Amino acid sequence: MTRPPKKPPRHAKKDAKSAKMLISAAAFSATFGGWIAMANGNGSSSLFYQSPPPLVSPLELDSQASQQHGLEGKRSDAETTFPAQPPIPLSMTHSSR
Amino acid sequence: MQRLTFRAMGCHMLAILDSDEPANMEQLQQVQGWFEEWEQCLSRFRENSELSRLNRRAGRQVQLSDVLWEVLQTACDAAQWSGGLVAPTMLDALEAAGYDRSFEALDPSNAPERPRQRQFGSNEWRDIEWYADSHSVCLPPGLRLDLGGIAKGWAADEAARRMGKVAPTMIDAGGDIAVTGPMSDGKGWPVGVADPASPADTCDPRPLELLMLNGGGVATSGRDYRRWQFKGKWQHHIIDPRTGLPAETDVLAATVLAPTACEAEVGAKAALILGSRDGLDWLEARQDMAGLLVLEDGRVLRSRRLKGYLWSELEAHSG
């Protein structure tokens, strides 16, 4: 859901140095949403609002994935968050020894 | 799950029974006795084995036990379907290359010179005379047989077949592995493919690949371990029947999955002898085989059907 834009924060100045500092915050904003200053390459910068990504729990994501694949039911949180560990091989094939 | 380890046929053996029933351990322990019986029949390194006696009586009709009869038939069938790439008639060539005693007794730094006893012929297995009524054969004069890898693969299959009546079983005969079907929980048996580049005696050998076996067998043929120096040159035990010499190939080790461990053993050897390009084509042409080739330069080539056996692929699709 996109919230209406707020007033630009005071510290978002248009000089290139400040823009560089704020660019480093871009990754943060991409995750949580907020105002981002982007350098334009000509010394100027522009300001835009990055919407936060939808807040969906891993369990809900898994449920969505299951529905897409025609599967039913939900798997445990642990299963969806971490890939399964490979089993320990009971034996190894190798050249004659 | 119950395990039995022992040494036979010059290799480490492992038998696993997927059952916790204590009474089944007694049956599992029979496996060692079976291997001893088969080795006494099929070994070329034992002077008094049935095979050695047969080799000494070439040119005469000799009655065979059921085991030698069956394994010799299996070996000649394999020579047929492998296009002669894996034949039981390479003993003279093996000894001429310096492999004239068990590998444990061989000095890898200086194998003794032994002249080839007779002219090499790659298709001599076709000249063996078979007498089905009396279970006897007649080898062409001078011909001697070596059942090496075929015997191990056959033994893994046969032991698995017998133990499979008790519970799901895996038999590992020195790297030739047969399983009877899925494990008791319905999952495949996790089997690693050893990396020929990593030391064999390491405590935690990391597999090159992790396979899931729901049946059949897997085997690896390699020139990374059984090798020795002969006249200052490194030799190995995989003879190319087309030349009668240790195979000159860019494949260091070949691993093949097949309906049986015996077929996997033959497939792996054939692919190694053929080299990377022809070996991979040869594997791709066989619907019931999959495999991977580790090359001398470190590259790993995988056949298309190998995906169906890789844990990583199976896990990705089940998730």
pLDDT in tens, B138-170: 999 989 999 989 999 999 999 999 999 999 999
Buried b (16+ CB within 10 A) or exposed e, B170-182: bbbbbbbbbbbbb
Half-sphere exposure of A39 (CA within 13 A, CB side): 14
- Whether residue B221 lies within 8 A of chain A, CB to CB, comes out as yes
A20: CB partners within 8 A, 6+ apart? A39
Question: Which value does ipTM take for this structure?
Answer: 0.81
Out of B192, B221, B311, name the one closest to residue A95 (CB).
Answer: B221
pLDDT of residue B215: 97
- Predicted confidence at residue A22, as pLDDT, reads 45
The residue ranking higher by pLDDT, B148 or B237, is B148
CB contact at 8 A, B61 and B136:
yes
Classify each residue of B129-148 as buried b or exposed e, where b means 16 or more C-beta atoms within 10 Å of its C-beta. eeeeeeebbbbeeebbbbbb
Measured between beta carbons, the chain B residues lying within 8 angstroms of A96 are: 10-11, 149, 152, 174-176, 225-226, 237
Q: Which residue has the tokens 């049986």?
A: B260
DSSP state letters, A61-91: HHHHHHHHTT--S---HHHHHSPPPPPPPSE
Mean local confidence (pLDDT), B91-99 = 75
Mean pLDDT of A6-23: 50
Chain B touched by A78 (CB under 8 Å): no
CB contact, 8 Å: A73 with chain B? no
CA B99: distance to chain centroid?
17
CB B28 within 8 A of CB B4: yes
| SS3 (DSSP) at B273 | helix
Contact between A96 and B11 using a beta-carbon 8 Å cutoff: yes
Q: In chain B, what residues touch A92 (CB-CB under 8 Å)? A: 175, 191-194, 205, 207
Q: Which of B10, B193, B224 is nearest residue A93 as measured by Cβ atoms?
A: B193
CA atoms of B8 and B160, how far apart (whole Å) = 16
B279, burial (CB in 10 Å: exposed 0-12, middle 13-18, buried 19+):
buried
Contact between B319 and A84 using a beta-carbon 8 Å cutoff: yes
Tell me the per-residue pLDDT of A72-90, one tens digit each, with 9 for 90 and over.
Answer: 444 455 455 666 788 889 9
Q: What is the pLDDT of residue B148?
A: 86
Q: What is the pLDDT of residues B251-291, one digit of tens each?
A: 999 999 999 999 999 999 999 999 999 999 999 999 999 99
